[in-house]
Amino acid sequence: MELRAAVRTNGFVVLFAWLVVTAAVSGAAAVGFIVWTRDSNSAALAVAIVACVVLALLLLAITCLTVINPNEAKVVQFFGRYIGSVSDPGFYAVLPLTDRRSISLRVRNFETQKLKVNDADGNPVEIAAVVVYRVVDSFKAAFAVDDYEEYVATQSEAAVRHLATSHPYDAHQQGRTSLRDGAEIAEELTVELRERTEMAGIEVLEARITHLAYAPEIAQAMLVRQQAAQVVAARTHIVEGAVGMVGLALERLSEQGVVELDEERKATMVSNLLVVLCGDRPTQPVVNTGSLYS
């Protein structure tokens, strides 16, 4: 079985017709009882009884009316059999004596709990995500799973755990995706959740990581490691720039003939320039004024 539209008609038209018929039948029943009471006419009694039976059937028929709110669907069942769904907002009349279960089609979101998982490098991390979804198939949401909201929550936690174990917190190799690569990780999580929840009639619109941190027991050690990595990266960048500046300085001095330097003086100059450019403290210049004694 699959999603299909239930047979329905305008509820206002049916309600108006029901009121007219009910009024007519009620009048016939009242007249019949009056005639039977006054004249003991058996035919009038029979008419009154038939009118009462029709009134009872009309009371059952009025159960066909239902209201569909915007962004809502109603799954219609007739004694356990699925006969269709109604998702267009309005006032409708469907088959009487049916059970109508409401399914919200609004966009929903929820945040998973903070999960403690080992990443791809074996480091324990805390991770949580927010999932935005909506129901697109009311039949599957009602009958494919017991509780589609609980199903989405469970599958979301499973997908977040799988994502955390598939990628490292920090990628120390080029071309490797880490959990901190927001756009790529969000896309991967969204695609996986769409595959997991499709059978429940759910469309996942977006899934993003909202919390990501090392577990408390290794957080301090990993912070030191990150700081050291940043220091090394900064120093590498500084050295590369300094080497380029020193080479440029020697090249310009040679081209413009400002001073002639032998290899020993070039080495001294290179050493001094690298100390000035790469040092993490201000340098103290030393001025050579020559000897006071000839």
Are the CB atoms for 111 and 128 separated by under 8 Å? yes
**147 falls in which pLDDT band (50, 70, 90)?**
very high
Question: Which two three-digit tokens encode residue 208?
Answer: 């993003």
| Mean pLDDT score of the chain | 83
Looking at residue 294, its pLDDT comes to 45
The predicted structure's pLDDT at residue 67 = 94
Strand partners, 78: 81
pLDDT class of 265 with cuts at 50, 70, 90: low
> What pLDDT shows up at residue 34?
80
Dihedral sign computed on CA atoms, order 48, 51, 55, 60 = positive
Mean pLDDT, range 2-7, rounded to an integer: 88
CA distance 45 to 115: 75
* CATH tag for 107-216 (out of 3.30.479.30, 3.50.30.30, 3.40.50.720, 3.40.50.150): 3.30.479.30
Q: In the structure encoding, which two tokens stand for residue 231, read together?
A: 């220091």
Residue 292: what pLDDT?
A: 47
Q: Is the pLDDT of residue 51 over 90?
A: no
Largest CA distance in the chain: 158
The pLDDT of residue 135: 95
| Helix intervals (H) in 167-181 | none
Tell me how far apart the alpha carbons of residues 176 and 125 are, in angstroms, rounded to a whole number: 18
Cβ neighbours, 10 Å, residue 182: 11
**Which pLDDT value is given to residue 27?**
86
At residue 261 the predicted structure's pLDDT band, cuts being 50, 70 and 90, is low
Q: What is the pLDDT of residue 290?
A: 54
Give the residue from 27, 26, 28, 18 showing the smallest Cα distance to 60: 18
pLDDT at 178: 85
Higher pLDDT, 245 or 129: 129
Alpha helices in 62-181 (DSSP H): 138-143, 148-166
Q: Which residues of 229-263 are buried (b: 16+ CB within 10 A; e: fewer)?
A: eeeeeeeeeeeeebeeebeeeeeeeeeeeeeeeee
Q: What is the pLDDT at residue 29?
A: 83
pLDDT digits (tens, 9 = 90+) for 280-293: 666 666 655 555 45
95, 59, 49: which is closest to 76 by C-alpha? 95
Is residue 97 within 8 Å of 78, Cβ to Cβ? yes
**Nearest Cα to Cα of residue 129 among 211, 234, 197:** 211
To which residue do tokens 């880490």 refer? 178
Which residue ranges make up each domain of the chain? 9-102, 107-216, 219-278
Q: Looking at the predicted structure, is the pLDDT value of residue 41 above 60?
A: yes
CA distances from 167 to 118, 176, 187 (A): 10, 8, 14
Query: pLDDT (tens digit, 9 = 90+) per residue, 162-214?
Result: 999 998 887 766 777 888 888 899 999 999 999 999 999 999 999 999 998 88
pLDDT at 283: 61
